[in-house]
Structure 1
Amino acid sequence: RRFFENFRNQVAPRTSPNFTLTITERLIVSQTEQRIAVVYRLQATYTNPTLSPLCEGQSQLVIKQSSQGFWYIESWQDFRRENPFTLSELKRLLIN
């Protein structure tokens, strides 16, 4: 929650972030577990000049369904592609 609040507060006024997420692979392990590989790209203009305007990478997620029927991310691994600034780095900077 803190990440999203800080992200919203750091985005420059009158600008709109652009987030693209593409699923590249999906493995249905069971009725209550899926493994998903994605590539992502986030472009945003921030009020803090130390934040990179481009964040991109690929992630592998394990998503599970709880006994109440809600889906949640059990694990998330983030990998660099060409750009060295990933969602994990952005989260690390904005979580404080």
Structure 2
Amino acid sequence: MHNFLTCDVGHGDIVIDITFPVSLGDYGFPVTAHWDGKSDFKLCCTPQARIALDDPDSADKRKRAWLGALNTEQGLRIREAGIQEMMAYIHHDQQQP
């Protein structure tokens, strides 16, 4: 499961994805190092389904409900553990001289 936004910033709908810090581009992760304000960001996969989260007050709750419907409890735990491991790696890598 991958999360990204689709927004209209004045030029029609575009994909905004800041999942991976630019520094991970050195390791082959899909990042958008330079953005012109009009083009889609790079995604790590082709979207299979999309949901609209129009209400900021309920967006996280709706996203988590959707994730729960698409994954087993074990799958969700593995997903969260993977995110935590990646964040720990990024933090460690950024601390290196």
Instruction: State the TM-score, normalized to the length of structure 2.
Output: 0.25
Greater strand share, structure number = 1
Instruction: State the TM-score, normalized to the length of structure 1.
Output: 0.25
